[in-house]
């Protein structure tokens, strides 16, 4: 699923599988892919790297665990914007360097 379009189609099937299994509201899936491009951004925007990863992957999270994790965190709704601001401050070159390290680390 190197192409994001293929991965996105898979995500649709995976979402439906969660519903069919009766796990909607129990499991949350978050998609990570090297080619994620958010609608409001262009290819060069470091904000895309909040959901980019070296390889296509799904992060399966138990809703109960997520609720427990954010229960003590002040303003969890601000987390995505905080992450975007951080990546934009770091800049595209630095963010790409960090992602490249993931490929190097997995080869050793």
Residue 46 DSSP class: G
Strand partners, 31: 58
% of the chain at pLDDT higher than 90: 81
Please state the domain extents for the chain.
4-107
- The span from the CA of 60 to the CA of 52, in Å, is 16
What sign does the dihedral 95-41-62-9 (CA atoms) show?
negative
pLDDT tens-digit series, residues 12-57: 999 999 999 999 999 999 999 999 999 989 999 999 999 999 899 9
- Averaged pLDDT score across all residues of the chain: 92
The contacts of residue 36 (CB under 8 Å, 6+ apart) are: 4, 48, 51, 52
Question: Can you give the pLDDT at residue 108?
Answer: 56
Q: Specify the pTM.
A: 0.82
**Rounded CA separation 107/26 (Å):** 35
Predicted pLDDT at 77:
92
């Amino acid at each position: 699923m190197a192409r994001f379009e293929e991965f996105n189609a898979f995500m649709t099937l995976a979402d439906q599988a969660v519903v069919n299994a009766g796990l909607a509201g129990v499991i949350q899936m978050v998609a990570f892919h090297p080619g994620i491009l958010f609608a409001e951004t262009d290819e060069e925007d470091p904000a895309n790297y909040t959901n980019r990863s070296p390889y296509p992957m799904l992060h399966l999270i138990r809703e109960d665990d997520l609720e427990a994790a954010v229960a003590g965190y002040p303003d969890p709704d601000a987390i995505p914007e905080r992450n975007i601001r951080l990546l934009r401050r770091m800049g595209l070159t630095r963010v790409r360097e960090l992602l490249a390290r993931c490929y190097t680390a997995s080869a050793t």
